[in-house]
Each structure stands twice: as C-alpha cells, then as structure tokens.
Amino acid sequence: MDKSDSAPRPTRRSVLESGVAAAAVLGFAGPLRAAPPPAQGAAPQALAAEPATPRMPVTLQVNGQARPLEVDPRTTLLDALRERIGLTGSKKGCDHGQCGACTVLVNGRRINSCLTLAVMHEGDEIQTIEGLAEGDHLHPLQAAFVKHDGFQCGYCTPGQICSAAGMLTEAKAGWPSTVTQDLTAAVALTDAEIRERMSGNICRCSAYPNIVAAIRDAGGAATRL
C-alpha cells in the first residue's frame, strides 16, 4: 500500500481547530504594522478650520424704524428679529412654519418669519407685535384678546394677534376662504370663517373659543370704524 494512501485525511474538526489556533497566534502577535507613537511633547495636529461664511449687510424696516444689520445670509427673519434686534415678541415654536407663533406682517401680509431669510426683506415694511399698539393705546385686537381672555400661557398670542390682523385685512378686501359660501358678497366673519382663516395658528392651551370671540369682536369694531 502506498504511504500517501495511509495518511490521515483532514476532518471538519481538525480544520476548525487549526483555524482557531491561527487566529489566536495572530491575535497575540498584534498588528503587523503598528503606528509609531507620537514624539514626546509634539503638539496634536490641528483640524483644518472651515472657511467663515461671509456676512451680508441688510437694512430691515421694523415697526417704522430702519435697522441696519450684518447677518449670515442663512439667518431667518425670526432670528434676526429676536437675536439681533431684540424684538422677542415673535416666538420660535416649531421653527418649521407649522405653529404660527412667529407670525409677523410684511407689507401688510402675514408670514411665518421662521421660513424666510432676513436678507430677502431689504426695504420691506415689517411689523411685529411690538409695533401694533400706538404708545399706551392698544390695537383693537390686543384689547379684544384681553377682554375675551383669548390667551392662557400667552406663548402663541403674539403670532395669533399678528395673524388675525393680516386676516382681517384679507377679509375686508374680499378674499374668500375654503368655507366662503358666496364669492360675490362681502366676507362675513362667522365662526367658521375665522377658524378656517386662523387654522395656521396653533394654541396648545386650546383657548380657541375665546380667540374666535376676540377676533370677531375686533373685526366688528374695525367694520364700524
């Protein structure tokens, strides 16, 4: 018989045992190419600094006053009003245009200031909650919110009032909503109209009945004027 025929054939067990042994040897041997230790006293390598974003000059007309600024072009109008000008009445709620707490008036139109950039409003007339009253004389909407207790925590109130001011202007101009029945007649400020037109402003305290009553009252006062 040939000697090669009498040699033991490898089994599955012997192959696994050989693999485990090889792995153990390589594990104890450590990495084949270990990195040299840093020289003693050497300073750590500094990360490359990101280039600074150039600032852009912009002059915002806020509540009748010119406000020259230099801002990062990515700065939202809301952050410019709050952080750079110090008008903190406009609130940052969701920062995604979903709650309406940041509503301001731009050229008489209500917008979510968290969704627009400050540099886009050079020369526009911006009105915030701080600019609605005339000295100690409250705006009719502000007075109506106090009268009808249209707020609880008050966080959403500046946005509610600014949005209502813009909404009353839209209704007076005859702009219809999805619940307007007669498109040829003047807009009647029913509860359904007010709720639909104010649906972009959320009150987490759920003071909606009082908010609707305040807006209806102020809208009637504006009509009488």
Q: How far apart are CA 59 and CA 103, in angstroms?
A: 20
- What was the pLDDT predicted at 220? 82
Q: Residue 67: beta bridge partners?
A: 60
Return averaged pLDDT per consecutive 10 residues of the chain, 225 residues in all.
59 67 56 62 67 91 98 97 98 97 98 98 97 95 97 97 98 95 92 97 97 95 44
- Please choose, from the candidates 175, 181, 183, 166, the residue with its C-alpha nearest in 3D space to the C-alpha of residue 218: 166
Cβ atoms within 10 A of the Cβ of 118, count?
26
First CA to last CA distance, the chain = 122
- What was the pLDDT predicted at 7? 59
* Domains, the chain: 56-131 (3.10.20.30), 136-225 (1.10.150.120)
Q: In the structure encoding, which two tokens stand for residue 78, read together?
A: 């809301």
- What was the pLDDT predicted at 51? 77
- Residue 57: phi, psi to the nearest 5? -75, 140
- What was the pLDDT predicted at 85? 98
Secondary structure letter of residue 82 according to DSSP:
I
Query: 166 near 110, Cβ under 8 Å?
Result: yes
**Alpha helices, DSSP H, located in the chain:** 3-6, 12-29, 77-79, 140-147, 157-172, 191-197, 208-224
- What was the pLDDT predicted at 147? 97
